Amino acid sequence: GLPPRAALGFGLGALAHVLSRLGLLPGVDEEIAAAVSTLREGVERLGPASGPDSPAKSAARTTLGRMLVVYTTSPAAHAAGMRLKAQVNENGKSPALVVPFPELDHNDIVGWEVLRPRRDDFVLLLLRSADENTRTSLRVDVTRELLAEEFHTILEFRAAGETMLARTLSLVQYGDYLSCYLAEAAGVDPVPVARIEILKQRLQALGE
């Protein structure tokens, strides 16, 4: 079967269908339809048939051999960012870090100062909501300016779609593609997670 991380759509669709039939999520069918439409557009923009300069492919090339740092601008974007981190770890076999606005402006931005000589080892990705208010947008823009000297590259991807579900899934889709392209660029198989299996075996042997 599919790895759990590759089965999000199946689980989400089934859960939404059940809750809709129980009357617990009125309007969810329309939400799903809108999200599917947004994701189909995303396949054209980000999928394998997209050009070499598509956002996910170019981000993967830039991230190869570097640590990806993801800053998120809303709770929904942060949820997608947490999945992106896990996908980069498991599919791309690469490190990643995710931190939300505005919390990061109270501490995280200071922590990069001593690493400035190693700026080429880090890529910053701003994972942005489509419905940011003016205050959040200003905060993100000022933070980006402050960190320009701390990172090899600063990338940005903004959610697409008309609904919260569509926008969140568009960020998830971007992260999933990015992680798979990263695996391809690194010449690794995105499916196996050998270290996790070894960890489980060793813990089991210890009675954990």
- Name the residue among 94, 99, 66, 68 with its Cα closest to residue 82: 99
Catalytic residue among 90, 93, 132, 150: 90
Question: How many residues are present in the chain?
Answer: 208
Residue 57 is among the residues annotated as catalytic for this protein: no
Residue recorded with tokens 């010449």 = 187
Q: Which residues pair with 99 in a beta bridge?
A: 71
Residue 78 is among the residues annotated as catalytic for this protein: no
Residue 152 is among the residues annotated as catalytic for this protein: no
The neighbour count for residue 109, using CB atoms within 10 Å, is 15
pLDDT at 17: 87
pLDDT at 208: 73
**Domains in the chain: ranges and CATH:** 4-190 (3.40.50.10490)
Read off the tokens for 149. Answer: 């000297």
Catalytic residue among 103, 145, 149, 200: 200
Query: One digit per residue, pLDDT tens: the chain, 208 residues?
Result: 789 999 999 999 999 989 999 999 898 999 999 999 999 999 999 999 999 999 999 999 999 999 999 999 999 999 999 999 999 999 999 999 999 999 999 999 999 999 999 999 999 999 999 888 999 999 999 999 999 999 999 999 999 999 999 999 999 999 999 999 999 999 999 999 999 999 999 999 998 7
